Amino acid sequence: MTRSTLKERSNTATAGSSFDSLGVHPELLRALGDMGFTEPTPIQRQAVPAGLEGRDLLGCAMTGSGKTAAFLLPILQRIQNLPRGVTRALILTPTRELAAQIDEERRALARYTGTTGAAVFGGVSIRPQEKAFRKGVDILVATPGRLLDHFQYDYARLDGIEILVLDEADRMLDMGFLPDIRRVLRHLPGRSRQTMFFSATMPKPIVELSRELLTDPLRLNVERKQEPATGISQALFPVPAQRKPALLIELLKRNEVGNVIAFCRTKHRAKRLYQKLEKAGISAAQIHGNRSQNQRTKALDGFRSGKVRVLAATDIVARGIDVEALDHVVNFDVPNVAEDYIHRVGRTARAGATGEAYTFVSPEEESDVRSIERAVGRPLPRRTLEAFDYDAPAAERFEVPVGERIAAMKARRKEERARARQKEARRRN
Ligand code: ADP
Ligand code: MG
């Protein structure tokens, strides 16, 4: 069916707000139906028609508003009837988890289209990714670092790219990916292409980069004031630093919170929180930069399936990762950038659901809270947990100072070397 006949049909048969009326092809409509996407979200309603026309886009919408399908639908439809074997669309995204998630949604949406795709990110074997390049899959979702690794080899050529998406653009800049993004751009054809930026916030560097890379873009929602997703109730829990673990454990034991992601300031703190929770008999997992890709995937899967009640995390998982049935975010530490707060809190209450976001605030963190309240535009309510002993001394230290950690590691290594020497000596004798 051609697009114009589809449009005619939708004009007569459908009310104004279905995917059909946006001009989406039947193959994609069928997949949307399978996925339970009956109505487009507001960003999809605005972005899809323009995207289908090949227009550049600068889309700013809160986390959980459905930005992924907003760019995947136009991509899939625009490439569907072109010959296979050429990679025509590249989606850049900051983290492995996000790349995997977008690729999954791409696969679900593409089910009836005959198009192909692959995800390219670090921490996993490079071979299947090389194959994807050699085959020329239609759509690549990639993190900038691993993509640049591939570009060292001849097989990795992306000179057929017609559509480029920067997803979570703000996050990529925060993570220092701007030079990498520029390097990636040098490997793409210079001739006209459709470029789309999607972001939950629109800080100045993004606006500047968009001026450079986008041509007459349709701007969606850019002027909107930063605010976490609606439907979330937020509260602060003032608490002495050393009582934070006990407070979380108490909230969990009293079922004040169900399944939670607890965000920590450092990898060490995430690990220590994980250990404390396990010791208290609460099923937990940890996800942060010191964990391998396999460990991270396993932790997320365990959490998604409900086996793991608490995910102790640094903010690598804060942006964009979609976890269904997540009713709580706990900021175990106050994020020191207001935008991070908005992203983290946006992790819950996705696509209209409701949720709660609790933030533990030690006296030292009060000044960071004030800048968050300024960004949110109002003071956040403060709560105290009844019958919880805020002044009890901590049973043991939460953080081990870095000097001690290094000393312990060195001692462990020395012992291992000594053991290896003994073993070798025994073998010789
Ligand atoms: P964003 O990238 O804006 O943070 P996502 O694209 O990850 O948001 O979508 C958030 C959640 O909403 C996902 O679980 C997704 O499957 C779901 N979703 C997206 N669009 C729709 C829709 N039209 N109808 C129902 N659910 C949707
Ligand atoms: Mg997203």
What is the residue with the minimal CA distance to atom 19 of ligand 1?
66
Atom of ligand 1 nearest to the CA of 167: 2
Among the bound ligands, name the one nearest to the CA of residue 65: 1
What's the rounded Cα separation, in Å, for the pair 307 and 78? 40
Q: Is 93 in the pocket of ligand 1 (CB under 6 A)?
A: no
pLDDT computed for residue 60 by the predictor = 87
Domain with CATH 3.40.50.300 in the chain: 41-220, 232-398
Chain center to CA of 166: 13
Contact 90, 165 (CB under 8 A): yes
Mean pLDDT per block of 10 residues along the chain (429 residues) reads 35 57 95 92 92 94 86 97 96 93 96 96 91 97 96 94 94 88 92 89 85 91 51 85 95 88 92 96 91 85 88 73 68 86 62 72 92 82 90 81 84 88 81
Q: Is 65 in the pocket of ligand 1 (CB under 6 A)?
A: yes
Q: Any bridge partners for residue 273, and if so which?
A: none
Distances (CA, A) of 76 to 72, 196, 381, 392, 415: 6, 14, 44, 58, 57
Q: Is 66 in the pocket of ligand 1 (CB under 6 A)?
A: yes
Those residues with Cβ within 8 angstroms of residue 380's Cβ, 6 or more apart along the chain or in another chain: 234, 235, 236, 359, 369, 372, 373
What is the residue with the minimal CA distance to atom 22 of ligand 1?
37
Q: Is 91 in the pocket of ligand 1 (CB under 6 A)?
A: no
Angle at 351 (CA atoms; ends 40, 94), nearest 5 degrees? 100
Contact 54, 104 (CB under 8 A): no
Q: Is 339 in the pocket of ligand 1 (CB under 6 A)?
A: no
Atom of ligand 1 nearest to the CA of 68: 6
C-alpha torsion sign, points 296, 302, 306, 312: negative
pLDDT computed for residue 4 by the predictor = 36
Q: Is 201 in the pocket of ligand 1 (CB under 6 A)?
A: no
| Conformation bin of residue 21: beta by default, left when phi > 0, alpha when psi is -120 to 50 | alpha
Q: Is 64 in the pocket of ligand 1 (CB under 6 A)?
A: yes
Superfamily of domain 232-398: P-loop containing nucleotide triphosphate hydrolases (3.40.50.300)
C-alpha torsion sign, points 81, 45, 18, 345: positive
Q: Is 320 in the pocket of ligand 1 (CB under 6 A)?
A: yes
Angle at 319 (CA atoms; ends 19, 80), nearest 5 degrees? 35
66: which DSSP letter?
-
Those residues with Cβ within 8 angstroms of residue 194's Cβ, 6 or more apart along the chain or in another chain: 51, 54, 55, 56, 78, 162, 163, 164
Q: Is 350 in the pocket of ligand 1 (CB under 6 A)?
A: yes
Copy the structure tokens of residue 249: 């454990």
Contact 266, 315 (CB under 8 A): no
Ligand 2 centre and the CA of 102: distance in Å? Answer: 8
The H or E element that residue 301 is part of is: helix 293-305
End-to-end CA distance of the chain, in Å?
81
Q: 139-168 in b/e burial notation, b at 16+ Cβ within 10 A?
A: bbbbbbbbbbebbeeeebebebbbbbbbbb
Angle at 160 (CA atoms; ends 158, 166), nearest 5 degrees? 65
The H or E element that residue 235 is part of is: strand 232-238
DSSP 238-282: E--GGGHHHHHHHHHHTTSS-SEEEE-SSHHHHHHHHHHHHHTT-
Contact 354, 288 (CB under 8 A): no
What's the rounded Cα separation, in Å, for the pair 129 and 117? 10
Ligand 1 centre and the CA of 39: distance in Å? Answer: 11
Atom of ligand 1 nearest to the CA of 39: 23
Ligand 2 centre and the CA of 67: distance in Å? Answer: 5
Ligand 2 centre and the CA of 5: distance in Å? Answer: 32
Residue of 17, 63, 65, 104 to test ligand 1 pocket, by largest number of atoms within 8 Å of CB: 65
Copy the structure tokens of residue 142: 């990639």
pLDDT computed for residue 15 by the predictor = 39
Fold assignment, 41-220: Rossmann fold (3.40.50)
- What is the reported pTM? 0.62
Chain center to CA of 70: 16
